[in-house]
């Protein structure tokens, strides 16, 4: 197994650790969770970069890298939903998109077709990971300094939901563009 694939597997292993940490109750859990999430997110950036640079792109990596990303970002959304920081509808929209795209990828793979990820999907993932870190940092600031106690126009929960709804909208846009591209590349009659 090459280094990029090891990083992908490591991200999959780190995901339940992140979820456990963010759901536990201890001082500064938000900043510790942000640190774990950042490490996992950086592994996504590094594994793709290494695979392209060293010509180590594998079928394993092509299939498992997006799964590892989805595991990590879904774990964050589920934790946020548990804490009242994410609407169940955001989770539904994002997961529906993920299941649809994964299904299309499997159909394409069975036909020997690879449909490259589009720019919208990359933007969606980058925003989702960035917003997760931002929400975790805001959670730390709220827990330690009650920063939203000084703001009258928005609550921590509302701001978190707005950020995650932006992710849901990007999920819809990226999903629709991916499905449109797949219609030209896949024979859906088989």
- The model's confidence at residue 81, banded by pLDDT at 50, 70 and 90, is very high
Q: DSSP letters of 84-153?
A: TSS-HHHHHHHHHHHHHHHHHHHHHHHTT---PPPHHHHHHHHHHHHHHHHHHHHHHHHHHH-GGGG-SS
How far is the C-alpha of 121 from the C-alpha of 98, rounded, in Å? 10
How far is the C-alpha of 98 from the C-alpha of 95, rounded, in Å? 5
User: What own/partner pairs with CB < 8 Å and gap ≥ 24 does 107-114 have?
Assistant: 107/182, 107/186, 107/188, 108/182, 108/185, 108/186, 109/63, 111/186, 111/187, 111/190, 113/185, 113/186, 114/62
Q: Is 40 helix (H, G, I), strand (E, B) or coil?
A: helix
More confident residue, 173 or 60: 173
> pLDDT digits over 108-142, tens only?
888 888 777 789 988 999 999 999 999 999 999 99
Out of 1.10.275.10, 3.30.565.10, 1.10.357.10, 1.20.120.1760, the CATH code matching 3-185 is 1.20.120.1760
> pLDDT digits over 20-54, tens only?
999 999 999 999 999 999 999 999 989 989 999 99
| pLDDT score recorded for residue 23 | 98
Q: DSSP letters of 148-179?
A: GGG-SS--HHHHHHHHHHHHHHHHHHHHHHHH
Its pTM surpasses 0.85: yes
Query: What mean pLDDT value characterizes the chain?
Result: 94
| pLDDT score recorded for residue 66 | 85
């Amino acid at each position: 197994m090459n280094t990029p694939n090891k990083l992908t597997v490591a991200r999959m292993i780190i995901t339940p650790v992140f979820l456990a940490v963010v759901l536990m109750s201890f001082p500064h859990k938000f900043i510790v969770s942000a640190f774990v999430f950042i490490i996992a997110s950086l592994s996504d950036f590094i594994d793709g970069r290494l695979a392209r640079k060293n010509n180590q792109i594998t079928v394993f990596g092509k299939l498992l890298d997006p799964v590892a990303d989805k595991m990590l970002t879904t774990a964050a959304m589920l934790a946020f939903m548990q804490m009242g920081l994410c609407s169940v509808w955001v989770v539904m929209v994002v997961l529906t998109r993920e299941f649809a795209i994964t299904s299309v990828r499997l159909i394409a793979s069975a036909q020997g077709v690879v449909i490259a990820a589009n720019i919208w999907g990359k933007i969606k993932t980058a925003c989702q990971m960035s917003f997760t870190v931002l929400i975790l940092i805001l959670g730390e600031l709220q827990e330690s300094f009650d920063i939203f106690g000084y703001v009258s126009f928005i609550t921590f929960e509302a701001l978190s939901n707005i950020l995650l709804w932006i992710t849901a909208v990007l999920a819809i846009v990226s999903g629709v563009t991916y499905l449109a591209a797949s219609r030209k590349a896949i024979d859906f009659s088989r």
